[in-house]
Each structure stands twice: as structure tokens, then as C-alpha cells.
Amino acid sequence: MELSWVEISRSALVHNLKAFRGLVGDDVVLAPAVKANAYGHGLVDCAEIMEKNGADYLCVNALFEAQKLRKAGVRLPILIIGYTPLSDLKEVIDLKDVEIVVYNIETVKNLKKFEKKVSIHLKIETGNHRQGVELDQIPEFIRLIKSASNIELKGVSTHFSNLEDRINHQYALYQLKQFEKAIHLLEKDGLAPHYRHCANTAATILLPEARFNFVRTGIGNYGLWPSDKTMKASDRANIKIELKPVMTWKTKVAQIKEIKKGSLVGYGCTYEMPQDGKIAVLPIGYYDGFVRLLSNKGFVLIRGHRCPVIGRVCMNMIMADVTHATDIKLEDEVVLLGKQGKDEITAEEMGELSQTINYEVTTRINERIPRLVQ
Ligand SMILES: Cc1ncc(COP(=O)(O)O)c(C=O)c1O
């Protein structure tokens, strides 16, 4: 029996994918990001569900994820959007329908040495200053790609910096202009890539002109909004898309005990019981992804009661004040993230309490905790 587990709602995952299909139409390639263990939701299970329900491509960060998917029998084309070391290029080429994002001239030079065909997507620097090729470097890439008979320039891409952080999308629109300039440069030289892509979840929802013919939605597939601002902007623009959270993280009560007023709870004695009361010990901790910043701040749900986390989060345990929950029993189910009864602990709430974003909340849940698709 596991000490904690993550339940994945198949129907919510399918609902979200179909919601994006409804938004972008049939002519746009839906390429959900399943990197980082599908944002913590389980790489292979999520990819299989997406494959059966209308995804056209999958985006991963690295070669090992593509290998896992192929080993599991997933057949969709895969785009590796992170870094592929030069020493891994042969393995990429040997996998069927695995393509890479390219932004170093050395990568193209090394790919050229192989005989086997490889499809690449050129990443353009438009203002994020993460990966990408500057506009004035594009001619050098064009020359080299044209001289390599085994390299197909299948796509051109970029990534937005702050669409989800702003109500005003001026910077994203500037990036879009830069991207269009890059596409023009490639077309002018007779190297028009078939796929053009820059849209993450926020851009897919808010900027129809950024969808081109390929979108790389991530967080939205898991039923979460990139930010409050994105949700509000979409409401204001009357864009209709409903996202349903996919994940519920659960554990069970490992001990219940009465403690006296003034008792000090946990490492560092950071919590003092304000009255005679009752605590529950729960068998999860920061090793599992319930971060230490939630010490004396987080909440859990037990039998529909919202119970505060008291004392410091330990490596493998936390304590909750359950004084008001008179009906609690040993091994009762505890919701750490998700709904129980009428209450819900959202990834956004947990993120705010631990000074981060919903993306990190689900992604940081330890990979060894089972994901159970239901
Ligand atoms: C290059 C790239 N494309 C797409 C995405 C998906 O973004 P989101 O989860 O905001 O939809 C990410 C996520 O970090 C990314 O790095």
C-alpha cells in the first residue's frame, strides 16, 4: 500500500484536449507538452490518453522522455524542445518520428555527418533570451541546412516571455513580429518550413494570430490556467474555454493524538498548541514534493474538514491540527491537492502559500509516487 498517490482523471484530461481542439479547429496541429512527467501527471499514461483522443504531436524536453514514450508504444511524432547534446544526436535519429528543436550551428554541422534523414525545427530568438537563433544568424543556418541533403527544416518556432504575466500584450506582439520576420527570411531563401509554432497555453487561448498551424499547449491540458491574468483576459475577450483540473493528490492518516495546550509541534518547536486539541500525523513530506515552505501555512482536507498544517514540514511527515474534526479515524483518506466534498485545495492556492506557481506545484510531486488513472 502506498503512503501517497496521485489520481489522474482521464475524463478531465480528454475534456481539456477536446476543449483546445474546439478552440483551434481541425487544421492546427495540437502538440501537447508532456515534458516534466506531463507536468507531474505521469508521462506515459497522459501521452497514451492524448494519442487516443486527438493529439497530433507530443512535445518533450529531452531524449529520455522520447525513448520512454517509444518504449511504451506511443507512436505520435515527438518534438524534443529542450537541449539535445551533440553526443545524443545519433540516438535521436535512430528513433522513429522524433524531431528536435535546433538553435546551435554545431548541432546542424553534426547532423549533417549522418546519412539518415532528420527533421528539425529552428528556434528563433525573439526576445525571451532563452534558446534561439538571432535573426542575423539565420542566413548561416539556411546555408548549412541547404547544403545537407539529410536535414529537413520541418518547423520554425519561438517562445513567449510574459504573455501570462501581463494584461497588456505589447511585448508578446513585438515577439510575434520578430518571429514573422524570421519566417520571411526563411521563405525568401526558399526554405519555408511547414510548421510554424510559438503558442503555449496562454497564447493559444488569447492570441489566435499566434496559433499558426501548430500549438504547444502545456499547463492547460492538465486543467490549470497559466495565471489569473490569463483567465481574466480570456473572460474579458469572451473566449469560451473550460479547463478541468486533472490531478488529485492523496495520502492517509498515520496517527491521531490528543495533545495539551502549550505542546510544541515538530522540528524547531515552531508551533505551540493554543488549546488542548488533537493532531493527525500524515506520511508525506518534502521528499514527496510537499515543500517545506508550507510549514505552518498549508492545509489538508480530511472528511471534508480543512485542517491547517502545523509545525515544520519534515522529510517524510507532516502534522495537521484536527481538533475541530471529531470524526477523524486512523487511515482516513486525506486530500493534499484537489477536491474533497465541497472544499478544494487548488494548485494555485498551494502555489501561493509556497511562493511559487501552479506549474511547479504539480511538477514537483515526486515521480516515484504512483499516478493512478481513473
Ligand atoms: C518551449 C515551450 N513550449 C510550450 C510550453 C508550454 O507552456 P504552457 O505550459 O504555458 O502552455 C513550454 C513550457 O514551459 C515551453 O517551454
Q: What is the pLDDT of residues 93-114, one digit of tens each?
A: 999 999 999 999 999 999 999 9
One-letter amino acid of 259:
I
Tell me the per-residue pLDDT of 8-36, one tens digit each, with 9 for 90 and over.
Answer: 999 999 999 999 999 999 999 999 999 99
User: From CA 52, how far away is CA 58, in angstroms rounded?
Assistant: 12
Cα(200) to centroid of ligand 1, in Å?
5
Q: Is 241 a member of any domain?
A: no
83 part of the active site: no
Which residue, chain included where needed, has cell 533570451?
A: 129
**Which of 159, 204, 211, 221 for mutating ligand 1's site (highest number of atoms within 8 Å of CB)?**
159
For all residues of the chain together, what is the average pLDDT? 97
Cα(217) to centroid of ligand 1, in Å?
6
User: From CA 344, how far away is CA 300, in angstroms rounded?
Assistant: 9
Strand order in the sheet with 118-123: 58-60, 78-80, 98-102, 118-123, 151-157, 195-197
41 and 138 inside one domain: yes
Q: What's 348's domain CATH number? A: 2.40.37.10
Give me the pLDDT at residue 214, please: 98
Instruction: List the catalytic residue out of 174, 232, 267, 329.
Output: 267
190 and 255 inside one domain: no
Q: Is 68 helix (H, G, I), strand (E, B) or coil?
A: helix
Domain boundary (180, 212, 236) is at: 236
Q: What's 195's domain CATH number? A: 3.20.20.10
368 and 277 inside one domain: yes
Element (H, E) at 21: helix 10-24
Q: Is 283 a member of any domain?
A: yes
167 pLDDT more than 90? no
Listed residue (267, 257, 259) closest to 312, CA to CA:
267
pTM of the model: 0.97
Tell me the per-residue pLDDT of 245-270, one tens digit each, with 9 for 90 and over.
Answer: 999 999 999 999 999 999 999 999 99
Q: Is 2 a member of any domain?
A: no
Q: Is 242 a member of any domain?
A: no
Number of structural domains the chain divides into = 2
80 and 135 inside one domain: yes
Over residues 81-95, the mean pLDDT reads 98
Ligand 1 contact, 66 CB (< 6 A): no
User: From CA 27, how far away is CA 39, in angstroms rounded?
Assistant: 26
272 and 366 inside one domain: yes
C-alpha cell, 134 = 538571432
Domain boundary (236, 264, 295) is at: 236
Which range marks the domain in which residue 284 is found?
247-373
297 part of the active site: no
Domain boundary (216, 236, 256) is at: 236
Listed residue (176, 117, 190, 181) closest to 148, CA to CA:
117
230 and 265 inside one domain: no
